[in-house]
Structure 1
């Protein structure tokens, strides 16, 4: 779609002064998908030259905001969580054209409940590195970065530079469940369980069914009652998302169902 209110395109390397009507341009798959009447100028990140994926000294993985879904999918990650990366990429249910243009940073910054890169990064305890116009840097866990449907903690002009996934999370065993009302529809519920290989703690991350990522942590493998109570008291009624892709009652039902299925899957090795 043509954005007929945009009158200027600037290179992000030129460090332009941020002003009202500006927007960062990554892959553009969202920006050019619908009218953006409030925009006047796009700051293009495509020539920044940031390496899409970089292994950190401690064994973690840094994902640049400009990394595309296709680049992440093709990355040879020889870690237990590699299967989860593949599952979340396929949760896009998008064409190869979108995979080769849509960026990880764009998916997080759109902050939609069904954003599968939000699900992936939150479940693996990812941390966002945010850079202000002044150059100041702050770090925010992905689970806290998204605050609601289409809302996040970004301040005016602030840039999501990268997301770092810690080594410990990448070495965890995971379990994935996703549901949609349609065969090729948007996720109505997407839950991910993770079992830590070091202390045997478990984390359950709820997304798509809720307006923001919600993490439930268990210091040791939980039983069915513990998981049910955690979901019951960890999600307020108004936090279940409501749109054309699923009523809150259905999303709540699928959340409880998937939570128990994930618990059982993660406990299989004990039996």
Structure 2
């Protein structure tokens, strides 16, 4: 990206009124890769100095928006949550990007193949959004609305994602497929099973995350019906809609079988 239009990099605590051309800056991988942003002033969220991951008293965890992918993977390994690294390895990025790109940046970019989007949806993460007036609101579901569109709102930023303890204890299954070894995900399916529900999450193949909760492990026909009823599939160079639908059905059935003990 040509950053010749940027005239200032400022502290978020001194930003004042939000203006056209203002862009939140964390790792910067999205800002530097999206010329359509037309940035004039970069507001650097890293100056808050947030802890990457904070363990909560109830056993849950709060992941800062500025936590890097590398830091998230390290925490997932230590905590024994395999779905974290599985999703992050679906990230089309080198180790150098892992050490710069952030959890919040990947989520707020709202790309269909964003792996943090899949992870957040699967683990029931609650997004903590800070409003321009300093107030906060929580977004439990549907943070990503469409490709490149979130529920942030003008001048708001993502502070963190809170994941409940129950999700960290749950059994999980993961399937992902790309046209080539290091390509963008064409379809990504994750399953989470705990004492209360079976959650199936479909991303990459659809414009926004598809999340469906079953009261128990569903049958093959239920999963097939769910996939057949998806109203829209992504159509781009990474895969045709019909192929993505077929592929998603195969991956979803594998996830169902794994968590169902078949």
Task: Give the TM bin, normalised by the shorter chain.
Answer: over 0.9
Alignment of 1:72-91 (within 5 A): 72-75=72-75, 79=79, 82-91=81-90
What root-mean-square deviation, in Å, do the aligned CA atoms of Structure 1 and Structure 2 show? 1.4
How far has the Cα of 1:12 moved from its partner? Answer: 1.4
How far has the Cα of 1:30 moved from its partner? Answer: 1.4
SS in 2 for 1:251: helix
* Contact 2:227 2:245 (8 Å CA) reproduced: no
Runs of 4+ off more than 3 Å: 76-80
Q: 1:169 aligns with which of 167, 170, 184?
A: 167
Alignment of 1:106-121 (within 5 A): 106-121=105-120
| 1:68–1:37 Cα change, 3 Å | closer
How far has the Cα of 1:36 moved from its partner? Answer: 4.0
Alignment of 1:145-156 (within 5 A): 145-156=143-154
List runs of 5+ in structure 1 lacking aligned partners: none
How far has the Cα of 1:46 moved from its partner? Answer: 1.6
| 1:8–1:173 Cα change, 3 Å | same
Alignment of 1:154-193 (within 5 A): 154-193=152-191
What do the CA deviations read for 1:132-165 (whole angstroms, capped 9, x no partner)?
0111211112x40001111111110001000011
What do the CA deviations read for 1:13-64 (whole angstroms, capped 9, x no partner)?
3242211110100000111124246321110112111111001111111000
Question: Which residue of structure 1 aligns with residue 192 of structure 2?
Answer: 194
Paired residue total: 262
Question: Which residue of structure 2 aligns with residue 221 of structure 1?
Answer: 217
TM-score by length of 2: 0.96
* Contact 1:3 1:36 (8 Å CA) reproduced: no
* Contact 1:133 1:157 (8 Å CA) reproduced: yes
Residue 255 (structure 2) pairs with residue 255 (structure 1): no
Question: Which residue of structure 2 aligns with residue 244 of structure 1?
Answer: 237
SS in 2 for 1:228: helix
C-alpha distance in 2, partners of 1:51/1:127?
17
What do the CA deviations read for 1:180-237 (whole angstroms, capped 9, x no partner)?
11121000100001111x23x201000000000011111012111111122223x21x
Question: Which residue of structure 2 aligns with residue 231 of structure 1?
Answer: 227
List runs of 5+ in structure 2 lacking aligned partners: none
TM-score by length of 1: 0.93
How far has the Cα of 1:115 moved from its partner? Answer: 0.2
Question: Which residue of structure 1 aligns with residue 9 of structure 2?
Answer: 9
* Contact 1:22 1:40 (8 Å CA) reproduced: yes
C-alpha distance in 1, partners of 2:136/2:22?
20
